[in-house]
A and B are shown apart, each in its own frame.
Chain A
Amino acid sequence: MKFVTPSAEELSYLRADPVLIEQELDCRPETAEAMERAVGFRAGRTYWRSTHDHLYALELADLGRGRPSQARVFGHWDRFEPRPSEHEIRLDLVDFCLWVAEVAPNMDPDMVDRLARTGPNGVGLSRPQGAVLRTPDDRFANLPGFPYEPRYLEIEGLRMAYVEHGAGDPILMLHGEPTWGYLYRRMIPPLAEIGRAVVPDLIGFGRSDKPTRDNEYSYKSHVRWMRAFIKALDLKRITLVCQDWGGPIGLRVLAHMPERFSRAVIMNTGIPDGSGFSKAFMAWRRLSQKASELDVAQLVRGACHRKLTDDEAAAYGAPFPSREYQACALLFPRLVPIRLDHPGAYDNRVAIETLKTLDLPVLPVFAEGDAITRQAEGAVRAIFKNTAPTVSVQNAGHFLQEDAGEEIARHIRAWMEETKA
């Protein structure tokens, strides 16, 4: 476990939850002393970031016994927001217990691990029954223009689906709200001629698993899942292609692991720092939060400039047999950080500082007909140093891959040729 010092600003956006573990340590002085050696103090506070990207604090107090005699573990969650799923917190606390077992004498981390994960007294580290839904395969039969065989990875116990086509350096295409990989079907064949098109479905969308509880989803968790996806496939020299939520997620991941990326195509999206949004987005956000179910097929069809066939529109509705499957689709507009103190906004401001230092070539692509994200163009151009002239797509709306996929793929191919290392 690596201890960190969070900034005062970050802490001001968080809320400390004091009761995760509270323990008098006196019964095992050697454990208390080992912890003191490991953290370097007898009484005080230190922080660490868990595998789920949550910030935790360990507080030791000396109640007059010349060694740490009381320990408390705090979780730090987004201020005013409910804490993340119990499942994540339990796993993080097992990691903490493993750390204690490693530093303390006469303890066996393997035993702790076994205790945690197995047996009738295990703390139950899997998600509760019924907490995850999987769209039946037959909903995806005979998709027009999308013949690719789905592939699957397991990420944190969730099945994440993707398709791939072609060979060479990966071209990672990220969809957003409320679509799935199908959105890229017009761009996959032309781009697969010059690289390996990798098109995942975000958790909660497409053929990927869909947790049903709101607090399983956060901006943070999507970033984590995408990082894990890229690591699992060991993608390198990636050309990122992103739209809508693909941008906030993909660009954050880019800032976390820039060494894996060689280019980025940013289409109708950006990385919001919490400082303001278009009227059109705010209207959509309000509308979506009043809905108890989204008619996704109709929504995509209505936003497209091209006329979708019934089968094409139905393909967008396919992942959602009922509202139970739509937890993330219903939440996504609200998870966009629209204020400086909104979950994710601080992390994005940190990420933007990293992105500003990168030399990687960036191609902005914006649709003339998209009122929701048009204003993100200026922000994108201000962040990246090495930005090509913006491709302005006529006769296209928010889902520009659907309206002008082939045309955009041509632009991307030409630009990739120019920016060959």
Chain B
Amino acid sequence: MLRSKPDWLKPMFPWEQKALEVNGRTMAYIDEGDPQGRPVLLLSGNPTWGFLYRDFIPILTETGYRTIAPDWVGAGYSDHPREDSALTLAHHIADLVSLLDQLRLRDFVIVGQDWGGPQGIGAALQRVERLAAAVLMNTWLFTDYIGQFHASPWPWTTWHAPLVGQYFQKLVKVLSHRGPSSTSKRGLNEAESRAYHHVFDEPESDAAVLTWPRTIPLKEGDRGWADMAAIQRRLPELAEVPILLLWAPEDIVFPIEYAHRLKELLPHAEGPIEFSNAAHFLQDDRGPDIAKAIVDFLKNKVEVQS
């Protein structure tokens, strides 16, 4: 379902949309910068797509990195399957592994926020010999800490519920239409807001927006629990990999306690470096500053090693 980008979007997001087939579905991505440069994968979460990283792309490519921003299947310009069961954590991981394989990426860097964390690290663990570094922002990789937002009945577990969730996500479009704009600290203009939600404008195209929250594992036996637990169990394999934590403490979804738990599990990680005036979509609120922090980290901790 790869569509060409509308003209109004191009001034904000001018990069060539590429695509490949992963697991029988089309995955869209942009691939900019020096093809010989170190690949940096910019991974978004629910309900966003590569657009979230628009401030990162020029900064990373100018410093010599090959910048790859894929859209998860179900989001952005990738295929939007209707089947809930094609949009689980295991599927997203396998999709990204397929992209890593097909582009033959070596010594790559994972940058992930929200679902970009577990999906990116989950895939990187399948190809851990090729992982050079990881940057994690407002995300989680574990089953043993659940914050207030996800545990409380309003809004999260209500959205989880069968039928109720369907109503809020699909008919009222709480997340897909209001997520990025309502949480923005900077305030999105109308075109930016539209850039986030226009990819869900087609009927029946927003299954992922509902599946993602419903597959956040809250207790053992939940869908995704076993896969998230597998990721947590394998985190010691990242002991030699430089990791940076960047955080927006004002985010109500993944408050700073999540960063502290990540730091316990990955004690060698740098940070968390905190960014004020930023919420859940910190890449949008503080894009250039965060991109520069990533470049500094890569120059100081990764390039010196190799």
Using a CB–CB distance below 8 Å, which chain A residues touch chain B? 12, 15-19, 77, 79-83, 86, 89, 214-215, 285-286, 288-290, 292, 334, 341
Chain A residues whose C-beta falls within 8 Å of the C-beta of B127 in the assembled complex: 289, 334
Min CB distance B29 to A, Å, is 15
Q: Which of B55-63, B79-87, B139-147, B156-164 contacts A (4 or more CB under 8 A)?
A: B79-87
Q: Beyond the given A17-B24, A80-B123, A285-B129, could you list 20 further A-B residue pairs with CB under 8 A, ordered by the A residue number?
A: A15-B91, A15-B94, A17-B23, A18-B83, A77-B94, A79-B90, A80-B94, A80-B126, A81-B94, A82-B22, A82-B23, A82-B94, A82-B98, A89-B24, A215-B101, A289-B127, A290-B106, A292-B106, A334-B129, A341-B230
**Nearest-neighbor residue (CB-CB) of A14 within chain B:** B90
Min CB distance B131 to A, Å, is 10
The answer to whether B129 and A82 have CB atoms under 8 Å apart is: no
Contact flag A80-B129 (CB < 8 Å), given A17-B23, A19-B24, A86-B24:
no
Residue B104, interface by CB 8 Å: yes
Chain A residues whose C-beta falls within 8 Å of the C-beta of B101 in the assembled complex: 82, 214-215
Contact flags B12-25 to A (C-beta < 8 A → 1, else 0): 00000000001110
State the CA gap A17–B24 with chains docked (Å): 10
Contact flag A80-B86 (CB < 8 Å), given A289-B129, A292-B106:
no
Min CB distance A391 to B, Å, is 33
Contact flag A80-B104 (CB < 8 Å), given A17-B23, A289-B129, A289-B130:
no
A80, A292, A334: residue with the most chain B Cβ atoms closer than 10 Å: A80
State the CA gap A79–B89 with chains docked (Å): 10
Nearest 10 interchain pairs by C-beta: A289-B129, A82-B98, A15-B90, A80-B93, A18-B85, A286-B129, A18-B83, A214-B101, A83-B23, A80-B126
Chain B residues whose C-beta falls within 8 Å of the C-beta of A341 in the assembled complex: 230
Chain B residues whose C-beta falls within 8 Å of the C-beta of A79 in the assembled complex: 90, 94, 227
Contact residues of B between 233 and 278, Cβ < 8 Å to A: none
Contact flag A19-B122 (CB < 8 Å), given A83-B94, A334-B129:
no
Contact of B97 among A16, A82, A288, A292 (CB under 8 A): A82
Contact residues of B between 107 and 123, Cβ < 8 Å to A: 107, 122-123
Interchain Cβ contacts within 8 Å, total number? 65
Chain A residues whose C-beta falls within 8 Å of the C-beta of B129 in the assembled complex: 285-286, 288-290, 334
State the CA gap A77–B102 with chains docked (Å): 18
Q: Can you give 7 A-B contacts (C-beta < 8 A)? A: A19-B24, A77-B94, A81-B97, A83-B94, A89-B24, A289-B130, A290-B106
Min CB distance A232 to B, Å, is 30
**Nearest-neighbor residue (CB-CB) of A285 within chain B:** B129
State the CA gap A18–B85 with chains docked (Å): 7
Min CB distance B258 to A, Å, is 23
Residue B226, interface by CB 8 Å: yes
State the CA gap A12–B227 with chains docked (Å): 10
State the CA gap A81–B123 with chains docked (Å): 9
Min CB distance B153 to A, Å, is 30
Chain A residues whose C-beta falls within 8 Å of the C-beta of B226 in the assembled complex: 12
State the CA gap A82–B88 with chains docked (Å): 14
Chain A residues whose C-beta falls within 8 Å of the C-beta of B81 in the assembled complex: 19
Chain A residues whose C-beta falls within 8 Å of the C-beta of B23 in the assembled complex: 17, 77, 82-83
Contact flag A18-B86 (CB < 8 Å), given A215-B101, A289-B130, A290-B130:
yes
Chain B residues whose C-beta falls within 8 Å of the C-beta of A89 in the assembled complex: 24
The answer to whether B83 and A80 have CB atoms under 8 Å apart is: no
State the CA gap A214–B127 with chains docked (Å): 13
B101, B102, B122, B129: residue with the most chain A Cβ atoms closer than 10 Å: B129
The answer to whether A83 and B24 have CB atoms under 8 Å apart is: yes
Min CB distance A382 to B, Å, is 26
State the CA gap A56–B236 with chains docked (Å): 34
Chain A residues whose C-beta falls within 8 Å of the C-beta of B126 in the assembled complex: 80-81
**Nearest-neighbor residue (CB-CB) of B130 within chain A:** A289
**Nearest-neighbor residue (CB-CB) of A334 within chain B:** B129
Chain A residues whose C-beta falls within 8 Å of the C-beta of B123 in the assembled complex: 80
The answer to whether B130 and A16 have CB atoms under 8 Å apart is: no
Contact residues of B between 1 and 37, Cβ < 8 Å to A: 22-24
Chain A residues whose C-beta falls within 8 Å of the C-beta of B107 in the assembled complex: 290
Chain A residues whose C-beta falls within 8 Å of the C-beta of B98 in the assembled complex: 82, 215
Chain B residues whose C-beta falls within 8 Å of the C-beta of A82 in the assembled complex: 22-23, 94-95, 97-98, 101
Min CB distance A92 to B, Å, is 13
State the CA gap A18–B98 with chains docked (Å): 18
Contact flag A80-B106 (CB < 8 Å), given A15-B90, A341-B230:
no
The answer to whether B86 and A19 have CB atoms under 8 Å apart is: yes
State the CA gap A257–B81 with chains docked (Å): 41
Chain A residues whose C-beta falls within 8 Å of the C-beta of B22 in the assembled complex: 82
The answer to whether A16 and B85 have CB atoms under 8 Å apart is: yes
The answer to whether B86 and A17 have CB atoms under 8 Å apart is: yes
Contact flags B202-233 to A (C-beta < 8 A → 1, else 0): 00000000000000000000000011001000
The answer to whether B104 and A292 have CB atoms under 8 Å apart is: yes
State the CA gap A86–B93 with chains docked (Å): 19
Min CB distance B9 to A, Å, is 29
State the CA gap A337–B283 with chains docked (Å): 38
Chain A residues whose C-beta falls within 8 Å of the C-beta of B130 in the assembled complex: 289-290
Min CB distance B43 to A, Å, is 15
State the CA gap A205–B227 with chains docked (Å): 35
**Nearest-neighbor residue (CB-CB) of B83 within chain A:** A18
